[in-house]
């Protein structure tokens, strides 16, 4: 994994991150579930993002009726991240390199976010 791969994924990740947290709120409101029951730490896991993109489920809830503006950024990020790998249904879990790449994108985003907050 190169820095350029991470850099290229970053815009899609940022849009997916915003959409994922908003989709979490949508699930809580739409299904009248207390937001505390939807573990915030799970919001950006590969499994949650993959399910939202391919199965239209999030935290186990059907999100097919959710606004496209919430689902599309997640799907785009997963497509960019997977880069042609077969769907999760057709493979066993996520390759370690894919999981590492996703974690590196999150790490770099958080690092940039901390630097931006320090500059203020």
Contact 81, 9 (CB under 8 A): yes
The encoded tokens of residue 83 equal 């880069």
Q: Which one is predicted more confidently, 43 or 3?
A: 43
| DSSP H helices in 1-120 | 3-30, 46-50, 68-82, 96-119
The encoded tokens of residue 14 equal 């940022």
Kindly report the number of other CB atoms within 10 A of residue 42's CB atom. Answer: 13
For the entire predicted model, the pTM comes to 0.87
Residue range 87-117, pLDDT digits in tens? 555 556 778 889 999 999 999 999 988 866 6
The encoded tokens of residue 44 equal 């950006």
Residue range 18-65, pLDDT digits in tens? 999 999 999 999 999 998 899 999 999 999 999 999 999 999 999 999
The encoded tokens of residue 31 equal 């299904």
């Amino acid at each position: 994994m190169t820095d350029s791969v991470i850099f290229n994924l970053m815009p899609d990740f940022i849009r997916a991150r915003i959409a994922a947290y908003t989709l979490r709120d949508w699930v809580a409101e739409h299904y009248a579930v207390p937001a505390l029951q939807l573990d915030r730490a799970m919001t950006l896991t590969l499994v949650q993002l993959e399910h939202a993109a391919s199965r239209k489920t999030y935290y186990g809830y059907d999100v097919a009726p959710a606004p496209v503006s919430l689902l599309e950024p997640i799907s785009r990020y997963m497509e960019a991240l997977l880069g042609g790998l077969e769907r999760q249904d057709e493979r066993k879990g996520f390759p370690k390199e894919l999981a590492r790449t996703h974690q590196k994108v999150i790490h770099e985003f958080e690092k940039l976010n901390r630097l931006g907050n320090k500059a203020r």
